[in-house]
Amino acid sequence: MVDASGLAAIDHGEACDEDYAGEELRRYFVQEWSSLKELLDSIVAAQGSAELGMYKKAQSIIDKYQEQGHLLEPHLEVIVVPLMEVLRSNLAGCEDIQDADLEIVKNVCCVIHKLITVCGYKTVVKFFPHQASDLEVTVALLERCDKEIKECGSLKEESVGEYETKCSLLLWLSILVLIPFDLASVDTALGYSTTSTASSSPLVERMLNLCKQFLSCSGPVREMAGVVLSRLLTRPDIHSHLLGFMAWSQDALKTSQDSSTGVFLIPGTVNALAGIFKVGDRSILLEIAPIAWKEASALSDSPLATRSPLLRKLLVKLIQRIGLTYLPPKLAAWRYMLGTKSLSQNLEKTSDVLPDDASAPTAEQDEDGCDVPEVIEEIMEKLLSGLKDKDTVVRWSAAKGLGRVTSRLSSENADDVVASVLELFSPTEGDGAWHGGCLALAELARRGLLLPRRLPVVVPLIIQALHYDVRRGPHSVGAHVRDAAAYVCWAFARAYMPALMSEHLKKLAPEMIAVACYDREVNCRRAASAAFQENVGRQGNFLHGIDIVNVSDYFSVGSRPHAYQHVAVFVGQYEEYRKILIDDLLLSKIRHWDRGLRELAVVALSLLVKYDPELFETTILGSLGSWSLSADLNLRHGATLAAAEVTRALHECGFKLSTEKEKLVAGMVPAIEKARLYRGKGGEIMRAAVSRLIECTASSGIPISSKTKKILLDTLDENLKHPNAQIQAVAAAGFKRFVTAYCFPVNSSAIASTTTKHLQGLKDVNPARRRGSALALGSLPQEFLFPLWKDVVDGLCSACLEENVEERDPEARVNAVRGLRDVCNVLANSQSQFPDDFSVAFVATLGGQVSDCLFKALDDYAIDNRGDVGSWIREAAMEALETCTVLLCKLSDTQSLVDERFAVRVFGGLIKQAAEKIDRIREAAGKTLQRMLHKQEFTIPCLPHRCELQQIFPSDESLLWADPMVAYPRLVRLILFPEYRSYFVAGLIVSVGGISQTLGKVSLQALLDFLNYRIENDNRDISLDQDRTGVLARELSLVLKTSAGNDRLALPAIKTIDALFSKGAFNDLKSISNTFATEILDSLQAELKGSKDVSKILSCINVFMGIASLQVQASKQAQSQLLTLLGHRYPKVRKVAAEQLYLVLLQNGQFFGSSDAVDMALGLLLETCWDGPIEGLRDEKKKLLSLFGVLGPAPSPDNSAGSQHGLPPLKSSDENASYASLVDAAGY
């Protein structure tokens, strides 16, 4: 069944988590900035000689803002300038760079590099000092760092932060090389010669050699080296070195393609060339452009470029910048301009009407771009091919490059470029070409290069791109295309005047809002919503634009169910948008490959019925009927569900179907049956859809023939026997509606046959049949239940327990519990229509047999390979127990049934579940207790401690009982109430002693806080409140005694006692200490007998140690147990027993014997290797036993060291003779 509420329950906050986290980070930064400032001030005050931890803490604070770097930018000057001064002062105070404290340099540079990572190097470099005197020092420091790395290896570079140092120093060097005078003047190697130039400067050679070497690095050092080269080689006084670098790059690109270093060197070299062509003067670059183009063109076709997206992106950058170098740096005068740069001229405009010549360039406007070099055509081909690249980063770079180059072309050439881009929107092209085409159109529009006369051709293509979705196997591609198409719509809003866009927006606006409401991906919905909002704000004249924008904002469309079921429904009230929304659902979404999306689309379609029911009845319902027999499974499933939901929605609107349409809907299921569409792939989802269709048909009251009734009933019976739980649930809902709508009036024989059939199904060997029959019985109306109500109750009670171990099925038991609840609910609500003797018998059955069955179900802890499957039954039993208790309280004369004993059993069982380890069960139990304690409709009589329970379980529905931090501090107060204490402790020990460490710590801490009076109890007897630990100790002893042999409770109980001993909770026991200790020891001895569970044995040893520390009479018995375990067969047990015994004797040795005996025992325990071979330990064990007067066990004829614990005798004297012995020795 398509459950709208269930779909809406999809985590609404998931799409907004990142936004919430960003907002929290912004608020938190205000607090952290003061901490960061204090750290930096301390570092600066110590001139960098601060502890390494201070640097690490500063880096960790900065690192949190990787996605919120703008928060740090206003404070960069305060951070960077003092740190760079520390760096400069450290270097300036040294006569030789070798004397500089490299550790200070590294630590400071690590903080600087973290800022570069978060805020970007272009932002950080603005605050670097640029004195000419720092140039040589920085180069020397770089050389020293590089020398150390070569000597120490690459691992040190990763571990101590040399690459951060090199990155920061290279970035500093990139601004130092921009000094406005000849570099030879700062090169001390040249002395004071007036004839020296930068071309002959050794300093320049050193920088070039360093950067060339760094170009082959694999990290961010390569990028920084490219930045330095681009700034250095484009200086006018370094022209000869530029030519030399071009020759070196040619050789490097040719020789390293097949080498291992080429993977890093070639991208680094291309990046450096791209940087040179970005910042260099055109007069300098024209000389080297042919060389660069030749190398880039050849490299773009190489195998290495095919494998490397990074290299392809860098090549696209280089190629576009070469193209810009060949073209004069003038913007085309023919481009479309939305306005002028003069504010007064814009204000003087009185009309929004486009001038006649705005969309067509004149000859005068076009005359500047007549001479275009031939190489530009090849460059444009490379960029256009880049638009079809398989990687998004390459397509994005190609789109931007295409826009930049086109802005310098003539209108005729630019029109050819636009035509080439439009060719990418071909059905034969892949998704990459469509995405690249959208990006290119957006860039051209933003730059005014897509002239208005092209819009009639472009807009239909963009509409296609907004809905681009191509199936690829089990999924589809196209989300990036739709996102880029929304970007184009956003760009159009900012690029053109409203008069130009008014006609086009009539087509675009509904398409944008359809994508904003119905797209599968959240980024596409948000992009379309942003585009729609931008158009409403800038273009104006949108029908209902402001109202829609207020509803379809960024956060509203973030949740898919909310967008489908609320935003789209609001938009659908406007006729201008309704048709597009309906068409999108019918032609795309109900046939989508994602089943969840189809079901959500069906719900969304039904919500639009109220706006135009006639359209749905006359047109859409007929189409859905024919599509339900389609060969396409997705369309068939979606159409069947849509027909069901539309029929239901039409009925709820009060719209009467025509006879033709009633026949169509009634005949859909028989037609699907006849076409045998349940078989093969997809048969399961069609069964669920058909069951939903039957349910909606019945609820709508559509008349059907007797033959059709039989077909529908047989279909429901088959689906009820299906092993899929979802199909059974939908079939049960359909069965309930079908019986109510089409099975009245009916004779007694038909009633008996239907009820008997499902009663027999409860005993079927097939578990799926039992599950379906239980659901079916719970769906029957009172007329079908009354004649055989006792048989139904007996059958369901028997099915809830399933005493036959071989046939036990957890799902069948869950359905039986729920069916029993529904049957009791139906019979109780209709008892007034039946004879008085029925009421008496039913109430007695409800308070006796049914309640006992539910109490037993509440204790179902069955486990299989899926885990604790019994939790499913317990959860259903809690719901059923609540219902039955409410019914008993509402029925008259129930004081004898709902007495104090009954109330304690109900609430005690729920309290036990509320204290256990599974969050889901704890949440269900907590909510159930809240409802039962605070319901106004009824009151449970004779409930002990009602007021105290209402304090522990208040009416606040926002309490999260699944959160241990919320639940256990409240629940531990239940220890003080003797009526509920045993139930609570039985549940608590499973949490404290369970396998979940987090849950164990939280529950144990809450218990300790309560025992130490850090959790107070209100309105309670003080005399009882003073003995909390004693009360708990007695209860734990009782639980351990009653759970003997049951590891589900015994092992957690032992671990709980162990944890309480380790925390010192039992250190102050007075009156009951010896009794408690004796009972615990007796229980532990019974548990140890024959046990091979190492975890249990070790927990018992810890408890023995705790008892031995109490200094009571039973302590000597505990010491004796520890001495005995020194001869255990498992080495790990022997070792732990020796350690614990050593601690006991060290702390309380005088209690167990004389000081000489204790000293000798401590020496033996310390000097003996207790996890060694067992043959060499017998003498030491005998000595220890004799020291304390403990009689050892009689030797076994089989020489078995473990026979005293009921273990099988050892067959070999060598305990390492087999793999099994090795496993035993490891303690597993």
pLDDT score at 843: 86
Contact predicate 944/950, CB 8 Å: no
pLDDT at 1025 over 60: no
Backbone dihedral region for residue 612 (phi beyond 0: left; psi -120 to 50: alpha; all else: beta) = beta
pLDDT score at 197: 54
pLDDT score at 582: 96
Angstrom distance (rounded) from CA 909 to CA 685: 39
Angstrom distance (rounded) from CA 995 to CA 1052: 9
pLDDT score at 194: 52
Alpha carbon distances (Å) from 541 to 15, 535, 544, 553: 31, 10, 9, 19
pLDDT tens figures, 946-1004: 999 999 999 888 899 999 999 999 999 999 899 999 999 999 999 998 888 889 999 99
* Percent of residues, the chain, with pLDDT higher than 70: 87
pLDDT band at 437 (very low <50, low <70, confident <90, very high): very high
Angstrom distance (rounded) from CA 77 to CA 73: 8
Question: What phi and psi values does residue 722 have, to the nearest 5 degrees?
Answer: -75, 140
Angstrom distance (rounded) from CA 354 to CA 814: 72
What the block records as the tokens of 388 is: 């079809």
pLDDT at 310 over 80: yes
pLDDT score at 608: 96
pLDDT tens figures, 177-212: 998 888 877 777 765 555 555 555 688 888 999 999
pLDDT score at 340: 55
Angstrom distance (rounded) from CA 865 to CA 810: 12
How distant is the alpha carbon of residue 924 from its chain centre? 24
Contact predicate 292/277, CB 8 Å: yes
Burial class from Cβ neighbours inside 10 Å (0-12, 13-18, 19+) for residue 655 reads middle
Of 68, 79, 83, 86, nearest in space to 26 by CA: 68
Alpha carbon distances (Å) from 307 to 184, 199, 222, 301, 1065: 43, 38, 20, 11, 65
Largest CA distance in the chain: 124
pLDDT score at 381: 95
* Percent of residues, the chain, with pLDDT higher than 90: 51
pLDDT score at 337: 84
Alpha carbon distances (Å) from 512 to 503, 515, 584: 15, 5, 11
pLDDT tens figures, 244-295: 999 999 998 888 887 878 889 999 999 999 999 999 999 899 999 999 999 9
pLDDT band at 449 (very low <50, low <70, confident <90, very high): very high
pLDDT tens figures, 659-698: 999 999 999 999 999 988 887 777 889 999 999 999 999 9
pLDDT at 26 over 70: no
On average, the pLDDT of the chain sits at 84
pLDDT score at 687: 93
How many CB atoms neighbour CB 794 within 10 A? Answer: 16
Please tell me the least confidently modeled range out of 387-391, 495-499, 638-642, 835-839: 835-839
pLDDT band at 518 (very low <50, low <70, confident <90, very high): very high
pLDDT score at 338: 76
More confident residue, 541 or 471: 471
pLDDT at 218 over 90: no
pLDDT tens figures, 1149-1175: 666 767 788 888 888 888 888 888 887
Dihedral sign for Cα atoms in the order 575, 579, 580, 586? positive
Residues belonging to the chain: 1228
Residue range 103-117: mean pLDDT, rounded: 90
pLDDT score at 355: 45
pLDDT tens figures, 227-240: 999 999 998 888 88
pLDDT tens figures, 599-642: 999 999 999 999 999 999 999 999 999 999 999 999 999 999 99
pLDDT score at 567: 96
pLDDT score at 893: 60
pLDDT tens figures, 558-595: 999 999 999 999 999 999 999 999 999 999 999 999 99
